[in-house]
């Protein structure tokens, strides 16, 4: 399997220390007005990716949402599927998630076997992703639906070894996720431990609902922060968090030019 241009771009950004913002749009939660507002804001503030998905997605709503985004925005759309049926060729790519924090074979490999021939026929760029759910204070839809136990919040060492194993198995991205609407985000200590353990780009999401939490995740080593709920609730948060990412990237450019 050839690595894709979306992956190459992300990997290059990581090499240059450039951070990215991904906005998660859940077809089951978003109304048209909210989506319109998010798309308008993404014209003025840099959003690197739209992730589309959720744990209980209805396919017709997902297709309509992707069509809506693609008709109005040039930002790449990546599927963030919770099931092999959640494929859609209108998107640019797919986070092909293997739930490596869990021990449910269906989400480690089973769903992927079902999806493989469909993916082969599609034009979707494939981003093989080690997906790690982290305990963040309450059971999330993702851990309930997947029937898996999330990584303990205060055990960065387990997360680091899990990511290391995922990288050794050939996964090209790691995603630490507290789950949508997490009570608190993945800890900076865990992000740092995973960052030190692997070289691949690191995505972090779940419960990032303030600019301080966004900054903390980036400072600890996240390459991409993923935000869903808070932008759904209050679309203008997109502008605030994009500003945090921009200042991070500008300070890095400044540091490089004075080296
Ligand atoms: C969930 O990481 C994403 O899978 C986003 O979480 O909705 O809490 O921002 P939030």
Residue 23 CA to ligand 1 center (angstroms) comes to 9
Evaluate: CB of 156 within 6 angstroms of ligand 1.
no
Evaluate: CB of 25 within 6 angstroms of ligand 1.
no
**Residue bearing the bigger pLDDT, 59 or 169:** 169
Evaluate: CB of 129 within 6 angstroms of ligand 1.
no
**Residue bearing the bigger pLDDT, 29 or 217:** 217
Residue 256 CA to ligand 1 center (angstroms) comes to 32
Query: At 57, is the pLDDT very low, low, confident or very high (cuts 50, 70, 90)?
Result: low
Q: How far apart are CA 63 and CA 196, in angstroms?
A: 38
- Give the helix ranges, DSSP H, for 169-236: 188-197, 211-220, 229-233
Length of the chain: 259
CA 113 → CA 2, 105, 167, 258, distances in Å?
Answer: 19, 11, 20, 50
Evaluate: CB of 150 within 6 angstroms of ligand 1.
no
Specify the pLDDT at position 259.
65
Mean of the pLDDT values across residues 112-116?
96
Mean of the pLDDT values across residues 68-91?
93
Phi, psi of 204 (to 5 degrees): -135, 135
Q: Are 124 and 91 in contact (CB under 8 A)?
A: yes
Q: Is the pLDDT of residue 2 over 90?
A: no
Specify the pLDDT at position 255.
77
| Element at 237 (helix H, strand E) | helix 237-258
Evaluate: CB of 231 within 6 angstroms of ligand 1.
no
Look up the pTM and report it.
0.96
Query: At 141, is the pLDDT very low, low, confident or very high (cuts 50, 70, 90)?
Result: confident
Mean of the pLDDT values across residues 164-189?
96
Q: From the CA of 26, give the closest atom in ligand 1.
A: 7
Residue among 191, 183, 223 at smallest CA distance from 207: 183
Q: How far apart are CA 1 and CA 10, in angstroms?
A: 17
Residue among 120, 93, 92, 95 at smallest CA distance from 171: 95
For the chain, what are the domain ranges?
A: 3-258
Q: From the CA of 182, give the closest atom in ligand 1.
A: 8
**Residue bearing the bigger pLDDT, 18 or 85:** 18
Mean of the pLDDT values across residues 176-181?
93
> Which of 243-257 are b and which e, b meaning 16 or more Cβ less than 10 Å from the residue's Cβ?
ebbeebbeeeeeeee
Q: From the CA of 227, give the closest atom in ligand 1.
A: 9
Q: How far apart are CA 179 and CA 224, in angstroms?
A: 15
The tens digit of pLDDT for each residue in 12-47 reads: 999 999 999 999 999 888 888 999 999 999 999 999
Specify the pLDDT at position 55.
73
Mean of the pLDDT values across residues 215-238?
97
Q: What percent of the chain has pLDDT over 70?
A: 97
Question: Which of 101, 181, 240 is the best mutation target for the ligand 1 pocket, counting ligand atoms within 8 Å of the beta carbon and taking the most?
Answer: 181
> What does pLDDT average to over the chain?
94
Mean of the pLDDT values across residues 126-151?
94
| Element at 96 (helix H, strand E) | strand 93-99
Q: How far apart are CA 257 and CA 157, in angstroms?
A: 35
Mean of the pLDDT values across residues 77-103?
94
Q: How many CA atoms lie within 13 A of 228 on its CB side?
A: 24
Helix 188-197, helix 156-168: angle, nearest 10 = 30
Specify the pLDDT at position 207.
96
Q: Which two tokens stand for residue 89?
A: 């060729």
Domain 3-258 class, CATH top level: alpha beta
Q: What percent of the chain has pLDDT over 90?
A: 83
Q: Is the pLDDT of residue 109 over 90?
A: yes
Q: Are 65 and 52 in contact (CB under 8 A)?
A: yes
Q: From the CA of 175, give the closest atom in ligand 1.
A: 2
């Amino acid at each position: 399997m050839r690595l894709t241009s979306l992956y190459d771009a992300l990997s290059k950004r990581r090499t240059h220390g450039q951070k990215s913002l991904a906005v998660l749009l859940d077809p089951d939660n978003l109304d048209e007005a909210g989506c319109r507002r998010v798309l308008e804001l993404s014209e003025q503030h840099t959003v690197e990716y739209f992730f589309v998905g959720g744990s209980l997605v209805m396919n017709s709503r997902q297709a309509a949402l992707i069509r809506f985004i693609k008709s109005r925005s040039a930002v790449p759309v990546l599927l963030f599927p919770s099931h092999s049926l959640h494929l859609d060729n209108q998107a640019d790519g797919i986070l092909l998630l293997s739930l490596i924090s869990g021990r449910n074979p269906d989400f480690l490999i089973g769903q992927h076997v079902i999806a493989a021939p469909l993916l082969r026929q599609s034009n979707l760029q494939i981003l093989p992703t080690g997906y790690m759910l982290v305990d963040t204070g309450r059971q999330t839809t993702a851990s309930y639906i997947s029937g898996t136990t999330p990584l303990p919040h205060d055990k960065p060492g387990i997360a680091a070894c899990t990511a290391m194993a995922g990288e050794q198995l050939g996964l090209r991205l790691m995603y630490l996720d507290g789950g949508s609407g997490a009570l608190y985000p993945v800890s900076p200590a865990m992000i740092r431990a995973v960052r030190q353990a692997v070289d691949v780009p690191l995505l972090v999401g779940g419960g990032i609902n303030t600019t301080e939490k966004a900054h903390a995740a980036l400072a600890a080593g996240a390459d991409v922060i993923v935000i869903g709920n808070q932008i759904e609730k209050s679309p203008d948060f997109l502008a605030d968090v994009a500003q945090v990412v921009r200042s991070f990237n500008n300070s890095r450019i400044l540091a490089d030019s004075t080296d």
